[in-house]
A and B are shown apart, each in its own frame.
Chain A
Amino acid sequence: MAYDYEKSIRPGKLPHIWCPGCGHGIVMKGLIRAMDTCELDRNNTAIVSGIGCASRLPGYLDACTLHTAHGRAAAFATGVKMAKPEMTVICCGGDGDGTAIGGNHFIHACRRNINMTYVIMNNFIYGMTGGQFSPCTPTGMKASTTPYGNPDPVFDISKLAIGAGATFVARTTAAHPREIDKLIAQGIKHNGMSIIEVLDDCPTSYGRRNKFRSVVDMMKRLKKDAVPAKAAAKMTPEQLEGKFLTGVLYHDNEKAEYTEQYAALIKRVQEGA
């Protein structure tokens, strides 16, 4: 019955800093359940983030936690994983942190297929700085820096990850809590770069500005627009208009994992020497 999250949370750290209704707490719970499913040794687990609301997540968890600079989570994490491949490395952060200022690190971590799991919480906005538009803010929507509606096209994070070479890519939403931990656990078990995009809600900086009545309203919309990838295969383009796919979107077990490749290189060099 009641899940024991407390054993994974550092004493005295709750309540967390996130606003009422913010989906990041739901994702954090999913991450804890996934870490439990994978029976991760917390001493051998590094949780690395950048800057922003979502990037405050590691501070709550009992593990080796690294809250880095804006956008740099994947690059710091690459250093950790390269230097100590036996560690499990999990990145987390938001859409702006991961795909704007950190976009270069994000795509190159995907390209290398280094064995990490990146949980990217996409709430369509820069929350911590008060609601500026991100590369994931839907076109036309309001942000504090798009008072006339967002003129920018958007990034599809999962497609970006697949295109860049990640070998496990999945998407779900904060309104699908059981799928969050299932997909993160699959990502952790996958030997390569795993991207888990979780669409969630920022009622404070995005919802209010865009006339959502409440966070419940926002979550219901996430539920309504989510289409499991398997179901989508049987749907017409018209039926899929305005929807997004959820579940495992890409899975490749063939591509070599980066740190294993490098270990093989060391072996080759040392034996040849």
Chain B
Amino acid sequence: MAKKTALVQGNQACAAGAIYAGCTFFGGYPITPSTEVAEEMSELLPTVGGKFIQMEDEIGAMASVIGASLTGAKALTATSGPGVSLKQELIGYACIAETPCVIINVMRGGPSTGMPTGPGQSDVMQARWGTHGDHAAIALVPESIQEIFTETVRAFNLAEKYRMPVQVLFDEIVGHMRERIVYPEPGELELIDRDPVTVSPEDYKPYDSTKGLVPPLASFGSEYKYHVTGLNKADDGFPTTKASLVDAEERRQIDKVECPEARADIESNEEFMTEDAEVILWAYGSSARSARYAVNELRKEGIKAGLFRPITLWPFPEKRTAELANQAKAIIVPEMNLGQMIHEVERVALGNCAIEGVFRVDGDPLNPGQIIDKVKEVI
């Protein structure tokens, strides 16, 4: 039987992916250019018995999502620009309380209100370091409508598996663009639920590191009662200021994402014509679409260009980026900001190749011509 296809907007594909992943709760607040995610969820969730709530503000939306997640629901919110700024404190709460949830950020420019209807990629560092304090981060950056669907599903899987907030960042171009989507059949994509608790209620500790880097999370309203706080806490969930306990908990919460096994599991990249490439275009999201076009054009002219496209932006693809820096004469980083990920590329390249950026923040997409010009200038 032919698979179901449709011509849909990125934001709609995101909502469809969330439902496919088993999302049963959405708490949101209207904001351009992400609003269609909320609109779609308000329509879809009741059909599957899920709950949609439009909260009084962005902070409330994030709070409701964490509350719902603690009852066992797969929970989602979607926002943009200023909304992400407002949510930062509670993204940190979800980090320290280790509460699974997915945050969609349909990126526009900034700072502040910026250009609400224009695209941007200026939240990529915020996705890593937006909330205060040390913490791990997972952020995914799909480039197409199909990939928005699959990466939204993967975001839920990672959130549940690693017990933490996962951000999916796509920019306004992809969010509002319409493309053909082929809907995966039920069962076609892997769906991951949070690990079940196996100990007795008396023995349950919500942050018990003897259970591994990701201790299982019980649901409120089950046979397990426990305490959740945003304070530094011991393995039993209660606040502590004991240095050794605080240190161990902080490090575990970062190790669970940064350890080699987790990185191998979480990282996801696409490479296009990188095998013999002398110039690497290191690009993500809609900028990668222009970069891919540029690679094809440059190859026609005999220039050995290739595309490295992180789909997982955080944790940063350190190993592969470093390898490419050793292989290539230059890495070009096109971004719809004034240079954010380029600093990470420079950090791991260790001066082994030339690194140049192509930046744009005027509300228009990066076009392939700009990238091609930069490549020719560099080589």
Known: A79-B25, A269-B47. A87 touches B220 (CB 8 A): yes
Binds A, one of B102-110, B224-232, B304-312, B366-374: B224-232
Q: Please give, as numbers and ranges, the residues of chain A lying within 8 Å of B146 by CB-CB distance.
A: none
Indicate whether A79 sits within 8 Å of B75 (C-beta atoms), given known contacts A108-B56, A265-B46. Answer: yes
User: Chain A interface: which of B58-66, B246-254, B281-289, B320-328?
Assistant: B58-66
CB distance from A45 to the nearest CB of B (A): 9
User: How far apart are B3's CB and chain A's nearest CB, in angstroms?
Assistant: 22
Interface string of A91-133 (1 = CB under 8 A from B): 0000000000000110110000000000000000000000000
Across-interface contacts of B49 in A (CB, < 8 A): 266, 270
Shortest C-beta distance, A64 to chain B (Å), equals 4
A67–B230 CB distance below 8 A? yes
Q: For residue B220, which residues in chain A have a CB less than 8 angstroms away from its CB? A: 46, 64, 66, 80, 84, 87
Q: A67-B231, A75-B64 are in contact. List 17 more A-B contacts (CB 8 A).
A: A42-B225, A43-B225, A59-B239, A66-B228, A67-B230, A69-B89, A75-B56, A78-B67, A79-B68, A79-B70, A82-B51, A82-B53, A82-B64, A87-B220, A105-B60, A108-B55, A270-B47
Give the residues in chain B near A86, CB-CB below 8 Å: 221
Instruction: Given A58-B227, A72-B60, decide whether A270 and B65 contact each other with a Cβ distance below 8 A.
Output: no
* A63-B225, A65-B228, A75-B63 known; A83 vs B56 contact (CB < 8 Å): no
Most chain B Cβ neighbours within 10 Å, of A44, A79, A86, A108? A79
B314 adjacent to chain A (CB < 8 Å): no
The answer to whether the Cβ of A179 comes within 8 Å of any Cβ in the partner chain is: no
- B46, B66, B231: the one contacting A79 at CB < 8 Å is B66
Mark each residue of chain B from 201 to 245: 1 if its CB lies under 8 Å from any CB of chain A, else 0. 000000000000000000011111111111100000011000000
Question: Contact partner of A104 among B60, B70, B89, B226, CB < 8 A?
Answer: B60
Is A76 among interface residues, defined by CB-CB distance under 8 A? Answer: yes
Contact residues, B141-184 vs A (CB, 8 A): none
A48 in the interface (beta carbon within 8 A): yes
Q: Report how many A-B pairs have Cβ atoms within 8 Å.
A: 134
On whether A43 and B63 interact (CB within 8 A), knowing A68-B230, A75-B55, A270-B46, the answer reads no
Whether, in the assembled complex, B73 has its beta carbon less than 8 Å from a beta carbon of chain A, the answer is yes
Q: Which 7 A-B pairs have the closest CB atoms?
A: A79-B67, A79-B64, A75-B63, A83-B68, A75-B60, A108-B56, A67-B229
The reply on B27 being an interface residue by CB < 8 A is yes
Q: How far is the CB of B247 from chain A (nearest CB, A)?
A: 21
CA separation between A46 and B66, bound complex, in Å? Answer: 14
A262 CB-CB contact with B under 8 Å: yes
Q: Which size bracket describes the interface of B in this complex?
A: 35 or more
Cβ contacts under 8 Å, B56 to chain A = 75, 104-105, 107-108
B20 at the interface (CB under 8 A from A): no
Which residues does A use to contact B, with CB under 8 Å? 10, 42-44, 46, 48, 58-59, 62-69, 72, 75-84, 86-87, 104-105, 107-108, 262, 265-266, 269-270, 273
Shortest C-beta distance, A7 to chain B (Å), equals 13
Complex CA gap A10/B60 in Å reads: 29
Mask: chain B, 63-84; 1 = CB below 8 Å from A; 0 = not: 1111111111101000000000
A80 adjacent to B47 (CB under 8 Å): no
Nearest CB of chain B from residue A220's CB, rounded to whole Å? 34
* B57 lies within 8 A of chain A by Cβ: yes
Q: Are B59 and A84 in contact (CB under 8 A)?
A: no
* Measured CA separation A271–B226 after assembly (Å): 38
Which residue of B57, B66, B72, B225 has the most chain A CB atoms within 10 A of its CB atom?
A: B225
- A71 to B, closest residue via Cβ: B59
Give 1 or 0 for each of B39-58: 1 = CB within 8 Å of chain A CB. 00000001101010101110
Interface CB pairs A-B, < 8 A, 19: A43-B222, A48-B67, A59-B227, A62-B225, A65-B225, A66-B227, A67-B231, A69-B63, A75-B63, A75-B64, A75-B67, A79-B67, A79-B68, A82-B27, A83-B24, A84-B73, A105-B60, A108-B55, A262-B51
Chain B residues with CB under 8 Å of A77's CB are 67
| CB closest chain-B residue, reference A49 | B229
Residue in A42, A80, A105 whose beta carbon sits within 8 Å of that of B70 in the complex: A80
| Residue pair A82, B25 in contact (C-beta under 8 Å) | yes
B316 within 8 A of A: no
Contact residues of A: prevailing secondary structure: helix
Beyond A43-B222, A82-B53, whether A105 also contacts B71 by CB under 8 A is no
B137 to chain A, nearest CB (A): 19
* Alpha-carbon distance A204/B71, docked complex (angstroms): 38
Query: In the assembly, what is the distance between CA of A159 and CA of B90, in Å?
Result: 30
B68 engages A82 (CB within 8 Å):
yes
Cα–Cα distance between A34 and B273 once the two chains are bound (Å)? 69
A78 touches B64 (CB 8 A): yes
Question: Which of A42, A62, A65 counts the most chain B CB atoms within 10 A?
Answer: A65
With A46-B220, A59-B239, A75-B59: A83-B225 Cβ-Cβ less than 8 Å: no
Alpha-carbon gap, A48 to B64, bound state (A): 12
Complex Cα–Cα for A83 and B67 (A): 8
A142 to B66, CA, bound (A): 38
CB contacts (< 8 Å) of B222 on chain A: these are 43
For B90, what are the chain A residues with a Cβ–Cβ distance below 8 Å? 69, 72
Q: Which listed residue, B221, B224, B228, B238, touches A84 by the CB 8 Å rule?
A: B221
A59 touches B229 (CB 8 A): yes
What is the bound-complex CA distance between A269 and B47, given in angstroms?
6
Complex: how many Å from CA A239 to CA B71?
50
Contact at B71–A87, with CB atoms within 8 Å? Answer: yes
Closest to B220 in A: A64
Task: Please determine whether A67 and B227 come into contact, CB atoms closer than 8 angstroms.
Answer: yes
User: How far is A262 from B224 in the complex, measured between Cα atoms in Å?
Assistant: 27
Residue of B nearest to A64 (CB): B220
B63: chain A residues within 8 A (beta carbon): 68-69, 72, 75-76, 78-79, 105
